[in-house]
Amino acid sequence: MQTRELGTSELKVSALGLGCMGMSFSYGPPRDKGEMTALLHAAVDRGVTFFDTAEVYGPYLNEELLGEALAPFRGRVAIATKFGFDLDPGRDPRGMNGAPGLDSRPEHIRQVAEASLKRLRVDTLDLLYQHRVDPAVPIEDVAGAVKDLIQAGKVRHFGLSEASAATIRRAHAVQPVTAVQSEYSLWERRVEAEILPTLGELGIGLVPYSPLGRGFLTGAVDAATTFAQGDFRNNLPRFTPEARAANQGLVDLLGRIGARGGATPAQVALAWLLAQRPWIVPIPGTTRLSRLDENLGAASLRLAPEDLRELRAAAEAMQVQGARYPQALEQMTGR
Report d(CA 218, CA 123) in Å as an integer.
37
Strand partners, 231: 27
Torsion over CA: 45, 50, 54, 57 (sign): negative
User: Catalytic one among 57, 129, 184, 209?
Assistant: 57
Torsion over CA: 136, 89, 144, 133 (sign): negative
Is 57 labeled as catalytic in the residue annotation? yes
Biggest CA-to-CA distance, the chain:
54
Q: How far is CA 308 from the centre of its chain?
A: 23
Report d(CA 140, CA 60) in Å as an integer.
27
Q: Do you know the residue count of the chain?
A: 335
Strand partners, 14: 3
Report the interhelical angle of 33-45 vs 61-69 (nearest 10°).
Answer: 50
Q: Which residues are catalytic?
A: 57
